[in-house]
Chains A and B, each alone.
Chain A
């Protein structure tokens, strides 16, 4: 058996392990300027200069081999060979932040003491220089007894030397440190500090601007104002900046529809293509610009180092419901998608707090729900200007997001007093150094997102749309019949069945039809409505835009109730699946679906009847 040697990247959180992993293997793992970006083991392939392949694994950051959260346990298991499914690494690349040696060396000493061949990547030497630190890698290598290679992962500096050192370490010829009995934490800590100060040649205080930034970002008054401004700008931008590219995409699909309609004879294939695929998938693809703008903001926040500052500011508020500022980071990323958000809760130490965060994460309006909001708001709410920069549509959108957040807050409060009761575990977090987000990283991040979105549109969304189209198109309406073709179809009959359940909260047949496929992916609600109307309107000006059709058929109370439903609505299948995986069983996902279903039904009902009584 001659498997490629296994090498693990280990080190403190935010040391640049994933950046180094990407640089060495050509992978595109997520990097971000805050601790706890990587929460699971990822492996990749690297070829040494002599042609030998190496399996490299990227691990979650950890402060020690004594895990305090689930992500750190992953690292401990891999490094110590504690996991039964995996072999133990043949060598370790210990990644250190050169600007933070005193702290990172302690874990490095602990890792070296394990006795595996070790290579140290002294990463972020550029940041150390920015901070006025000059280091001597040779001193470090001598003190630690292992090779030390200075690197700048994000500029691909030092990679050749690192590969070379790695070749030595996995070749058997490497220096194998003697396993030692572990000293106490405190002794280790002091040794780390001594080694660090020996390795520092000179130090000139710099980083004034970082101090200045923090004096605004963390200020008791200006800090929260800045945070609110950032979040408000983000949501506002998503709603306003996207109109031009979105209209262009919309026009493109309309053109395609007419071209196909002109080229093909009327019939099964043409209807499937224009009413099913293009109407459905097009209705969703229009929202790509919006989603990219949202991701642009999140990526910039993540890369700059502001995330932990925001967590710091939010801690007080979160403490009020028995959570901590740490939960803010997974919750904010749940605005993009709840699935990575729920994964990111692995960094939360306390099990009950983590569970609570998982249970409320779906209440953050994920990007898949934006299309639904945008479509309905765009069609049903007048775009009145209320004040400079504030329009009614934008305000309703913001209101829906706010209701989601408020709902999450209340849910957390209730959960922490009942099913997830427990003492608060506190809040302690390292704040990363500010960095200018790199354009290349952001573009790559957006590109990755685009691919994921297109893939979703081309697979899940297209498939659900086609199935729905089939259900709605058959059986064919007998000649001369007066009922609508949708009502006569199998799908229409199912829709009427569901309608009886959701009629009390003001939902019509179209909504009933959209609810089920929306479980596959939230956006499908939009494409489903698009498909329903495309089929329904055969022959009577069916090319009208979906918004005009909505205006003719929906009342405002129904629209508001539908929006409210989607604030709370049960999650998509992927969210349920990831919850099952992260909580090891069906109990919590079942609970989550149940409580959110109930909340959605009740809130939508209240909205509908209030709106009806208010005469809207």
Chain B
């Protein structure tokens, strides 16, 4: 990750505002089941990759659609909560 960027800490993908570009800072693998963690890796989630939240389904607790690298991926909020994101300070 480019450390020269000023970073707002403690933001997870679950909370990342829509359309705000960020970068995966860390993934808390311990929060995830093995299968989930593996699938997440396979879909390209890794430190240093650019992410952006595109949509949140349903107002309540529906899944999130996000852009990771060149892909659009749907995932549930609990998983998104394990993905820590860094965004350039406004």
Contacts and interface: CB of A to CB of B under 8 A. Distances in A.
Contact of B40 (A100, A101, A316, A428): A428
A26 to B, nearest CB: 32
Contacts of B75: 426-429
A185 interface: yes
Interface in B1-46: 33, 35-36, 38-44, 46
Interface of B: 33, 35-36, 38-44, 46, 49, 54-63, 65, 69-76, 78-79
Interface stretch (A161-169, A215-223, A273-281, A397-405): A215-223
A282 interface: no
A220 B74 contact: no
Given A68-B38, A68-B39, A316-B63, A427 B58 contact: no
Contacts of A101: 70
A186 interface: yes
A239 interface: no
B44 A312 contact: no
A431 B57 contact: no
Interface string A31-72: 000000000000000000000000000000001101010000
A102 B58 CA distance: 30
Contacts of B43: 63, 103, 428, 430
Nearest to B34: A68
A316 B58 contact: yes
A15 interface: no
B58 A429 contact: no
Given A63-B43, A68-B35, A220-B57, A312 B76 contact: no
Contacts of B42: 63-64, 106
A214 B71 CA distance: 13
21 contacts: A66-B38, A68-B39, A99-B70, A103-B71, A106-B42, A185-B41, A186-B46, A189-B46, A220-B55, A311-B74, A315-B63, A315-B76, A316-B57, A316-B61, A425-B33, A426-B36, A426-B76, A426-B78, A428-B76, A431-B65, A431-B73
Given A312-B63, A315-B62, A103 B70 contact: yes
Contacts of B57: 218, 220, 223, 312-313, 315-316
Contacts of B39: 63, 68, 349, 428
Given A312-B63, A428-B79, A220 B46 contact: no
B74 A431 contact: yes
A214 B65 CA distance: 10
Q: Which 5 A-B pairs have the closest CB atoms?
A: A63-B42, A218-B55, A431-B72, A316-B62, A312-B74
Q: Do most interface residues of chain A lie in helix, strand or loop, or is the interface mixed?
A: helix
Nearest to B49: A193
B46 A218 contact: no
A436 B46 CA distance: 32
Interface centre among A185, A186, A308, A430 (most CB of B within 10 A): A430
Tell which of A100, A106, A311, A427 has the most Cβ of chain B within 10 Å.
Answer: A427
Interface residues on A, range: 35 or more
Contact of B36 (A131, A220, A223, A428): A428
Interface in A166-195: 185-186, 189-190, 193
A289 interface: no
B44 A103 contact: yes
Contacts of B54: 211, 214, 218
> Is chain B's binding surface mostly helix, strand, loop or mixed?
mixed
A214 B72 contact: yes
B56 A220 contact: yes
Considering residues A190, A311, A426, A430, which has the most beta carbons from chain B within 10 angstroms of its beta carbon? A426
B56 to A, nearest CB: 6
B65 A312 contact: yes
Interface string A307-336: 010011101100100000100000000000
Nearest to B69: A102
Contacts of B61: 316
B35 A349 contact: yes
Contacts of B41: 185-186, 189
Contacts of A223: 55, 57
Contacts of B44: 102-103, 106, 189
A428 B78 CA distance: 11
A101 to B, nearest CB: 8
- Find the residue from A101, A131, A315 having the highest chain B CB count within 10 A: A315
A66 B39 CA distance: 10
Given A106-B44, A189-B46, 7 more contacts: A215-B55, A220-B56, A315-B76, A426-B33, A426-B76, A429-B75, A431-B74
Contacts of A106: 42, 44
Question: For B39, B41, B72, which residue has the most chain A Cβ atoms within 10 angstroms?
Answer: B72
A189 B45 CA distance: 9
Contacts of A430: 43, 71-74
Given A218-B55, A315-B63, A100 B36 contact: no
Contacts of A214: 54-55, 65, 72
A223 B40 CA distance: 25
A260 B59 CA distance: 64
Contacts of B60: 316
Contacts of A218: 54-55, 57, 65
Given A312-B57, A431-B73, A426 B62 contact: no
B62 to A, nearest CB: 4
A51 B56 CA distance: 54
A587 to B, nearest CB: 25
A118 B35 CA distance: 29
B74 A429 contact: yes
Contacts of A219: 55
Interface centre among A99, A220, A428, A430 (most CB of B within 10 A): A428
